[in-house]
């Protein structure tokens, strides 16, 4: 559960932001500040995971102290620009947080903020996951985080694939058999092709495979292919169910974004098994590092068997604990890893 500070002299804006945050992540510990001095005091306490600050506070007599405090919380702060022009923080400064425009034609516009907030939060979530250890403390290099994943029971399997992915996915599901955990597949593919692709995987594997966009995932273990052409973050609903939320990753050319899918799941506290299959580019590498940093496991397809080894090799390069394996070996590990908490665990080697 995260602790979020919302700082603004406007009670209306604070209420609106907190409503947006609750819709996004359900459970959180909110903190509010109406003045810059209050915001500085709360941030100095060191217990805030995310701060959303109205830039009107930066123009107050205590604004310089607040700017300095925000810069020390680099990567954990969003600024809502409610002044025209935005006040106080130069884009050239090292600790510059993301700025969300909040004014349209000189008037505070909650709708504009609500449209921009999810993408900004997604970027913060992925970067925070990469910077934090499983205990939420030191900002060590990614390779250090990836060196010692936990061995607890996993919640979900997330799979990334691009060029060469369809054949690898078909083989993976054939070898896997009925999954013990929900499986969500991010295959780079246009929106008009993923429904047919899901049907193809179902026919090839004999498993229940569905295409799905935004909304709740089925409660039982099932294979879900993300609808193409869009990006999704993974969250938990109020009842604990897995929920896909459609969003847009600025500058992303491959959809669905595996980095966003993996990183959002890690940020939501899920224990993930991340699988990166054949594909061009490096999508999935940063997200897989976030998964490992939060105690999850990472598997990548052996490079020689990939049509294009870009995604698996990029993932292995930033995550030393990622296991390189053939597709049948990946399926075999997926079939036994969810059993890690039962009495048979001692008889099952982890590596």
Domains along the sequence of the chain with CATH: 2-131 (3.40.50.2300), 144-347 (3.40.50.180)
pLDDT of 300: 96
CA distance 98 to 116: 11
Instruction: From residue 182, give the alpha-carbon distance in Å to each of 2, 51, 145, 158, 175.
Output: 25, 33, 25, 8, 16
Instruction: From residue 287, give the alpha-carbon distance in Å to each of 194, 249, 283, 331.
Output: 22, 13, 8, 21
Bridge-partner residues for 157, per DSSP? 183, 273
Residues 6+ apart with CB under 8 A from 63: 36, 57, 87, 88
Which ranges constitute the DSSP H helices of the chain? 11-25, 36-44, 63-72, 110-131, 142-145, 165-176, 194-205, 258-267, 285-293, 310-318, 327-336
Active site residues: 162, 188, 283
CA distance 249 to 40: 31
Report yes or no: 194 and 201 within 8 Å, Cβ to Cβ: no
* DSSP for 178-244, written as a single string: S-SS-EEEEE---TTTHHHHHHHHHHHH-S-EEEE-SEEPPSS--EEEEPTTSEEEEEE-TTS-EEE
Report yes or no: 265 and 281 within 8 Å, Cβ to Cβ: no
Instruction: Give the mean pLDDT per block of 10 residues along the chain (351 residues).
Output: 85 86 72 93 84 90 87 76 59 56 78 76 59 38 47 83 94 91 93 94 94 87 92 86 83 85 89 93 90 91 92 89 93 74 37 50
Phi, psi of 93 (to 5 degrees): -75, 145
Burial of residue 253 (CB within 10 Å: 0-12, 13-18, 19+) is exposed
pLDDT of 24: 67
């Amino acid at each position: 559960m995260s602790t979020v500070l919302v700082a603004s002299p406007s009670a209306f804006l604070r209420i609106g932001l907190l409503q947006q945050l609750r819709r996004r992540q359900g459970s959180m510990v909110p903190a509010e500040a109406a003045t810059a001095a209050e915001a500085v005091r709360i941030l100095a306490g060191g217990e805030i995971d995310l701060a959303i600050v109205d830039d009107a506070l930066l123009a107050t007599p205590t604004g310089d102290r607040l700017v300095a405090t925000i810069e020390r919380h680099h990567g954990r702060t969003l600024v809502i620009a409610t002044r025209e022009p935005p006040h106080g923080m130069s884009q050239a400064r090292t600790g510059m947080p993301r700025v969300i425009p909040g004014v349209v034609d000189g008037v505070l516009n909650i709708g504009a903020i609500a449209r921009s907030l999810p993408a900004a939060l997604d970027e913060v979530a992925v970067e925070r996951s990469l910077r934090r250890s499983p205990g939420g403390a030191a900002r060590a290099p990614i390779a250090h985080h990836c060196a010692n994943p936990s061995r607890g029971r996993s919640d979900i399997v997330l799979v990334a694939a691009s060029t060469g992915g369809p054949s690898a996915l078909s083989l993976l599901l054939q070898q896997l058999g009925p999954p013990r955990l929900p499986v969500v597949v991010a295959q780079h593919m246009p929106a008009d092709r993923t429904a047919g692709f899901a049907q193809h995987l179902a026919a090839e594997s004999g498993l229940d495979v569905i295409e799905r966009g935004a909304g709740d995932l089925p409660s039982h273990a099932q294979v879900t292919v993300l609808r193409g052409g869009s990006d999704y973050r993974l969250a938990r609903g109020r009842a604990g169910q897995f929920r896909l939320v459609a969003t847009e990753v600025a500058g992303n050319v491959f959809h669905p974004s595996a980095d966003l899918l993996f990183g959002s799941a890690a940020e939501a506290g899920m224990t993930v098994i991340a699988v990166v299959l054949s594909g061009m580019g490096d999508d999935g590498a940063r997200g897989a590092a976030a998964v490992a940093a939060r105690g999850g496991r990472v598997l990548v397809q052996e490079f020689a068997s990939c049509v294009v080894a870009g995604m698996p090799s990029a993932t292995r390069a930033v995550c030393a604990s990622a296991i390189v394996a053939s597709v049948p070996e990946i399926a075999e590990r997926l079939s036994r890893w969810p059993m890690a908490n039962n009495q048979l665990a001692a008889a099952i080697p982890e590596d």
